[in-house]
Structure 1
Amino acid sequence: MIRQYELVERVKSYDPETDENLLNRAYVFSMKAHGKQLRASGDPYFSHPLEVAGILTNMQLDCNTIVTALLHDTIEDTVATREQIEELFGEEIAKMVDGVTKLSKLEYVSENSKQAENFSKFLLAMSNDIRVLLVKLADRLHNMRTLHYIRKEEKRVRIARETLDIYAPLAERIGMQEVKEELEGLAFPYVYPEAYESIIKRLEYLHANTADIRDQVIRELEMLMEEAGIEAEVKGREKKPYSIWRKMTYRNVSLENQADILAFRIIVDDRETCYRALGAVHQKWQAVPGLFKDYISMPKPNGYQSLHTAVIGPQKNKIEIQIRSTEMDAVAEKGVAAHWTYKQHANSKEGAQFRWLQDLLEILEHSADPEEFLEHTKLAMYQDQVFCFTPKGELISLPRGATVVDFAYAVHTRIGDTCVGGKINGKPVQLRTILKNGDQVEILRSKAQHPSPTWLNFVITGKAKSAIRRFIRLQKKNEYIKLGRSILERSFLRESREFTQKSIGLAAKKLNMGGVDEVYEMVGKGELSDRKVLETVFPGIKLNGKDNNRPLNGADENGEKKKKNRSIPIRGLTPGLAVHLAECCHPLPGDRIVGISTTGKGIMVHTIDCDALEAYSETPEAWLDLSWAEQEEDLGFFVGRIEMLLDHEPGVLATVLNIVALERGNVSNIKFVERSPDLFRIELDIEIRDVKHLTSIITALRANERVNSVERAFS
């Protein structure tokens, strides 16, 4: 365990002006606060914050960050309070300690939602000061180093998986390659033990056959740099097991075909010398086409800069070489932490390397619940990038496989919401077109456009998925509100009661709801009956009208069939003539209608805009001006037809039928019109009362996120 004076000396070695008194006070406060607490290993608990502080001194972080590390578990695991820490150590340190706190005392529905909620709160704190993330990563790193002391295998696997899913990608996002690789290396054996054992065995075999090659390449590169008059340090490194496994899994590249299992790094003084060194390497050995990458002129989002090339080296072996300056190498290994050494701007969040953080905050704002946020966050953090440009030359980095819509949302949410098309390198393309490195992308927009649910079938970025789902949720909610208001207006009218916002507001208050819109939404969803609302607004009311939502099978409240006059309620008919409702347009009460008189067939009733009427345009004598008669009694059901475009997923048809049933409709026929791997189109014939009833069903269907489109069909 690091002693008090040793910790102070470490910090003073790179920051002679550090506040020694502050460090000593934090050391003593944390040691006393944790008292006799023990870790799973049996060590004093205080050893943990001390080791976290030690990890951060290796990154040469400022005094306040080291103090935060010493105190980071005191609020959660001891009797210390945030107010006490603020009083003793200042507001800045108190905020950082509060940001790192795990919030484990909060209870959530599931382990996943607990993890997601903690992460979202942590992200908000991190957005104010990136040092919060550095402390959290050091905290996780030490916990992973001691993970084997935890007895329950299930808990070890859960912590390791969380490390791979969240903390290693976060370390990569801020360029901390050393921390990222160690986290992955520690987690890999717990999450994928069989894959780990297999790769380790194959690497041991390769070691035995490549040791001589490694030393030979280093010697030749050193001689090559010397001949070119370039002062350089040459290193050899081996790709880590988890990185090898990811490449094998996600890119389907076998271990033997990975050129960078053995990689070599040439470190020179400055940017210009990097390109001179590259020229010398390519003069010596033949370059492998397609494997050169210039991350100096086009840095990664986390600030990483380097030249990457693959060449056919000694003994015809394919090897990877990285060329970078001394400063680039420090940033590549320590990421944002290196800025404290080179630029001394501890609180800076400027620059492209922090744009991803703003994207995550936007995802957090738009997500419906913590688990959805966690899903989108994972999508947003994985790094296999393509680099594209706006027409003005701004660089946009996206995950490989991203589409035009993903690009639009990466530029700005409003641009994504209103995009109708795109141009890649000046040529018009579809929204689902996948982008390639170096593409210049122009987004075509329309104010009338809105996000489409079908976009979820091809977008891959967390930001795009989050924004589209947010719009769908809002649209769905608005549809339910509109439907619920319509139902209540009819119910109040039926009972001869005045419908006002004030009366619905009163019902909302009595029912402990958030407001009138929530009442409308619940009624529209079918989770609150119009009868209940009426009884809440008018206690003791005797409801004598018919139920708006009664079934259409002609049964009474006891389920017994009623005998009714089934004559069609149409004005303008000559008594005794046979009347038929046309199957081409399925006219319903509420539609504008006309009749066509046909010898021997009687009157055929069509909607006024039915395409079949064109056949009678030159025989005006056959036309009859008709209208629906008002009826006090419900005469039963009519058939309406709708056409729908649905996601091709298990259970979607059952969802549709359930919605129709909840709206008191009855499906009498289903026709599959078109199928594709992603979507299918169907026609439904539904028994309903009138146009308003059909409209209510269509509205409810449109509100479901698995329904891409639904329209009334007239043929």
Structure 2
Amino acid sequence: MDKKLFFTNNEKSQVLEAIKELRNSQNYVLTKSDELKVFQSLKQAIIQKRIQRDIFGLNPILSSIQTALIAIEEIGLKRDGVVAVLLYSCFTEETENDYDKYEKEFGKTVVSILKGLVHIQELYKKNPVIESENFRNLLLSFAEDMRVILIMIADRVNLMRQIRNTECEEEKKRVSEEASYLYAPLAHKLGLYKLKSELEDLSLKYLEHDVYYMIKDKLNETKKSRDKYIENFIKPIREKLEADGYKFHMKGRTKSIHSIWQKMKKQKCEFEGIYDLFAIRIIIDAPLELEKIQCWHVFALITNMYQPNPKRLRDWLSVPKSNGYESLHITVKGPENKWVEVQIRTERMDEVAERGLAAHWRYKGIKSEGGMDEWLTSIRRALENNDDMQVIDQFKMDLYEDEIYVFTPKGDLMKFPKGATVLDFAYRIHSNIGNHCVGAKINGKVVTFRHILKSGDQIEVMTSTVQKPKQDWLNIVKTSRAKAKIRLALKETQVKDGLYAKEMLERRMKNRKIEMDEGTMSHLIKKLGFKETNDFYRQIADETLDINHVIEKYQEIQAYDNNLQGQQQTRSADEYSFENSIKNFTKSNGDVLVIDRNLKGIDYQLSKCCNPIYGDDVFGFVTVSGGIKIHRKDCPNALEMRKRFGYRILQARWSGKADSKYTITLKIIGNDDIGIVNNITSVISKEENIMMRSINIDSHDGLFSGNLEINVEDTSKLNQLIKKLRIIKGVKQIIRL
């Protein structure tokens, strides 16, 4: 680092205010001794120039205090977790050899958490594709202490709050995408619903600014009418509950902006088409033993008052969600025939729903079932008792003993069964890579293709053109996918070797001026003891069978047959005719597309959902059948594919020159002026190497819209055409479909 960290006057004020807020928190757990040692460590790190601002220019000391406040109030972290949050900014590679000092001052658990945070950052250096379930699971399996994940979530929430005015737009976009794809789902898994909702809303705000503010403005415009409707709806319910002597409070909760946007996309409608913008929540103050009885009683009161929709009943009271969520949800028809969602729960249930794990630690008896969720909810016990970390260790062992996660060089994350080898990895990438695999570089170290993989390995496969699959490879690989590809490759190799051997035999015989007769050759193959012709030619290819010996035996059989048939009449050449029904095909040596890491010669198809053409920014997507489809980067399905199947995305780029024509459709909208269609077709007809295939025009109320289908070579010619079409008088808009 070049400069020592300095504090602006504004930052000094913010730090003092944040420390004051931290100390005033009712959950604050640090002693004066802890504070003194933490701030001494931070001061020493500043003097030694070990702390520097991040890429956004944020002060790391201030950020760590703000993150600690979130960790305490929203998550409920105790002393060790909070100390780790405050110290992490000065815990660098230079201090990793100083573990004993930190352990002596702050304890073994604090150092364990700090190590976990450093370990996770090492994963990030491998440039992982974070929008995948595999990476989330790898993070969970790599966390030496579950508090590491909780701290990462708190840190990302704080970072998202602080970067609203940053000028680093590219980094802001990356951080927001990570928040959406990685941290919000992690927060959801851990039951941190409030933080999950905040991460989603802020991500939408930064990634789709116009959408966010459109929905926000719409909500503000309808707030008065919405508030009035809520009051009219809950008034009779309130009166009835008060008359029955219930202790309760009610509130109308508007859905998050992110949630509304997801509904708009799912239902393919405008904001006005979303009717369930809010939910009414009735929260009862009930003793634990009467919770279910009172909730069902309130449910009966409401459904007697308003007509319910039985199909929309959600009973998470009888059977809670696996993450501990308990509530009754019912949708009823309120005034003006509007459907309203009503949620009924107790104070305890509401705190669990709002604060997730923080509430789990406070309340007992929340049961969960199955795999990951059972593990995550068990963290409550481990964090209540710092010595009970074997609970987490046991669940981690149960969950991850049969699977590992490894990186490709570009950061894609792949899951394999435990015991998988480099060869399994190579065949997962592509059959061609597997067939020519000779080894790999794992984390920079060269290993053989028999090397067994471990979670977190970053693997770069090494290939050789002279390498080919062998029978014993079937005993090396672990996955059925690799075994199937090896068997197929062996079969194809045998066929190729057989053809090569046959061609070589024919050439040798021709050089000796020996005519090859199929009948004589069949006789020879049987005489040599082969049941299958393929086995005969394969042994020639393997040099197990000497080709000179074969030719000598052939001549012996041919001489014997000629002596027997010497008196037979020979046929003249003009009586013999041969028709070759096989057509010759030629293939260009130049690949139009280069896929992934400069791989050529790979079969692919252009996707019909976005119709990419030469020159478009594109990427490859490995389909379920194993084929590769090419999509435009602005394809309508691209975001969803990256979010759900990031590990199946391949880089792709155009190469060489465009030597084909591609069919694309343009939608043209404009004024229905006389002669406008003629002007459009005239412009197209004058364009070189562009052919119009069809045009369909609809006219209504003085406007026209139509789809124009053309054949074009590349994007440059397409853009030139669009530019010329746009200057035609009356044309308002041109959209490429």
TM-score (norm. length: structure 2):
0.52
2:726 corresponds in structure 1 to none
Q: Call closer, same or farther: CA 1:554–1:5 in 2, change over 3 Å.
A: closer
User: Residue 279 of structure 1: which of 300, 304, 309 is its match?
Assistant: 300
Q: How does 1:451-600 map to 2 (within 5 A)?
A: 474=424, 513-514=447-448, 527-528=466-467, 551=500, 554=503, 565-568=515-518, 573=523, 588-590=533-535
1:214–1:360 CA distance, 2 compared to 1 (3 A): farther
Compute the displacement of 1:303 (Å).
1.7
Superposition pairs of residues 354-393 of structure 1, within 5 angstroms:
354=375, 362=400, 365-369=403-407
CA contact (8 A) 1:292 1:308 kept: yes
Change (3 A) 1:591 1:199: farther
Partner-residue secondary structure (3-state), 2:343: strand
Listed one character per residue, the Cα deviations across residues 100-148 of structure 1 (whole Å, up to 9, x for unaligned) are 237557785656389999866642343x433222211110011001123
**Residue 368 and residue 55 in structure 1: after superposition, are their counterparts in 2 closer, same or farther (change >3 A)?**
closer
The secondary structure found in structure 1 opposite 2:349 is helix
Task: Give the Å deviation of 1:244.
Answer: 1.1
1:134 to 150, 173, 183: 150
Contact 1:288 1:310 in 2 (8 A): yes
Is 1:144–1:183's contact at 8 Å kept on the other side of the alignment?
yes
Q: Give yes or no for the alignment of 1:178 onto 2:123.
A: no
Is structure 2 residue 65 aligned with structure 1 residue 50?
Answer: yes
**Aligned: 1:33 with 2:45:** yes
CA drift at 1:229: 2.9
What is the rounded CA distance, in whole Å, between the counterparts of 1:104 and 1:560 in structure 2? 67
* Structure 1: distance between partners of 2:99 and 2:320: 40
Q: Is the contact made by 2:402 and 2:417 (CA closer than 8 Å) also made in structure 1?
A: no
Is 2:354 the counterpart of 1:338?
Answer: no
Please state how far the C-alpha of 1:188 moved relative to its aligned partner: 0.5
Instruction: State the match for 2:108 in structure 1.
Output: 91
Q: Does 1:154 align with 2:170?
A: yes
Aligned partners of 1:566, 1:344: CA distance in 2, in Å? 86
**Residues in 2 aligned to 1:290 and 1:468: alpha-carbon distance in whole angstroms:** 44
2:27 matched to 1:6?
Answer: no
Indicate the residue corresponding to 1:225 in structure 2: 241
> Secondary structure at the residue paired with 1:272?
helix
Change (3 A) 1:350 1:85: farther
| Displacement of 1:74 | 2.2
Alignment of 1:140-289 (within 5 A): 140-250=156-266, 252=268, 255-268=271-284, 269=286, 270-289=291-310
Shift of 1:313: 1.3
Q: 1 CA distance for matches of 2:84 and 2:248?
A: 38
Offset at residue 234 of structure 1 (A): 0.5
**Mapped partners of 1:559, 1:299: distance in 2:** 79
Name the SS for the 2:260 alignment partner.
helix
Residue 206 of structure 1 and its aligned partner are, at CA, apart by 2.9
| Separation of aligned partners in 1, 2:216 and 2:39 | 41
Give the CA deviation at 1:265: 0.8
Query: Judging changes above 3 Å, is the alpha-carbon distance between structure 1 residues 74 and 239 closer, same or farther for their aligned structure 2 residues?
Result: same
- Following superposition, the deviation at residue 219 of structure 1 comes to 2.8
- Cα-Cα RMSD: 5.5
8 A Cα contact 1:40 1:149, kept in partner: no
User: How big is the shift at 1:156?
Assistant: 0.9
Aligned to 1:112: 129
Do the aligned residues in 1 keep the contact of 2:191 with 2:357 (CA within 8 Å)?
yes
Retained in 2: the 8 A contact 1:295–1:307? Answer: yes
Question: In the superposition, relative to structure 1, how do residues 219 and 470 fare at CA in structure 2: closer, same or farther (>3 Å)?
Answer: farther
CA distance in 2, matches of 1:167, 1:161: 9
Match of 2:129, SS?
Answer: helix
Is the 1:10–1:57 contact (alpha carbons within 8 Å) kept by the matching residues of 2?
no
Q: Structure 2: which amino acid aligns with 1:9?
A: R
Contact 1:107 1:114 in 2 (8 A): no
For 2:283, give the aligned amino acid. I
* CA distance in structure 2 between the partners assigned to 1:296 and 1:70 by the alignment: 39
For 1:440-480, what per-residue CA distance to the aligned partner results, in whole angstroms no more than 9, with x for missing partners? xxxxxxxxxxxxxxxxxxxxxxxxx86699799749979x9
C-alpha distance in 1, partners of 2:421/2:293? 49
Instruction: Give the residue type in structure 2 aligned to 1:75.
Output: F
Percent identity reads: 22
Q: Secondary structure at the match of 2:533?
A: coil
> Structure 2: where are the runs of 5+ without partners?
1-13, 378-394, 440-444, 453-460, 471-495, 538-544, 555-593, 605-622, 628-737
Residue 136 of structure 2 contacts residue 186 of structure 2 at CA under 8 Å; is this kept in 1? no
Work out whether residues 366 and 467 of structure 1, in 8 Å CA contact, stay in contact via their aligned partners in 2: yes
**Shift of residue 187 of structure 1?**
1.0
Amino acid at match of 1:567: D
| 1:33 and 1:74 in contact (8 A); partners too | yes
In structure 1, what is the Cα distance between the partners aligned to 2:546 and 2:172? Answer: 71
Q: Structure 1 residues 88, 142: closer, same or farther in 2, change over 3 A?
A: same
SS of the residue 1:112 aligns to = coil
**Cα deviation digits, residues 212-267 of structure 1 (max 9, x gap):** 11222233332232133322110111101111112222454664454531111111
1:166–1:590 distance in 2 versus 1, CA, 3 Å: same
Residues 98 and 252 from structure 1, CA distance in 2 versus in 1: closer, same or farther, beyond 3 angstroms?
farther
- The 1:108–1:653 alpha-carbon spacing in structure 2 relative to 1, beyond 3 Å, is closer
2:320 aligned counterpart, secondary structure: coil
What is the aligned partner in structure 1 of residue 698 from structure 2? none
Maintained 8 Å contact 2:251/2:281: yes
Contact 1:116 1:371 in 2 (8 A): no
1:87 positional shift: 2.9
Cα distance in structure 2, aligned partners of 1:167 and 1:371: 23
Following superposition, the deviation at residue 633 of structure 1 comes to 6.6
Provide the rounded CA distance (Å) in 2 between the counterparts of 1:71 and 1:5.
14
Any conservation in 2 of the 1:274–1:307 contact (CA below 8 Å)? Answer: yes
Report SS of the residue matched to 1:148: coil
Give, in whole Å, the separation in 2 of the partners of 1:305 and 1:373. Answer: 39
Distance 1:210 1:76, change over 3 A: same
Aligned residues of 2:131 and 2:178 also touching (Cα < 8 A):
no
| Structure 1 segments unaligned to the other structure (5+ residues) | 377-464, 488-503, 506-510, 532-546, 580-585, 593-628, 637-649, 658-676, 682-715
> Measured at CA, do residues 286 and 368 of structure 1 come closer, stay the same or move farther in structure 2, by a change above 3 Å?
same
Q: Deviations over 1:637-694 (max 9, x none)?
A: xxxxxxxxxxxxx99997589xxxxxxxxxxxxxxxxxxx98799xxxxxxxxxxxxx
1:625 is aligned to none
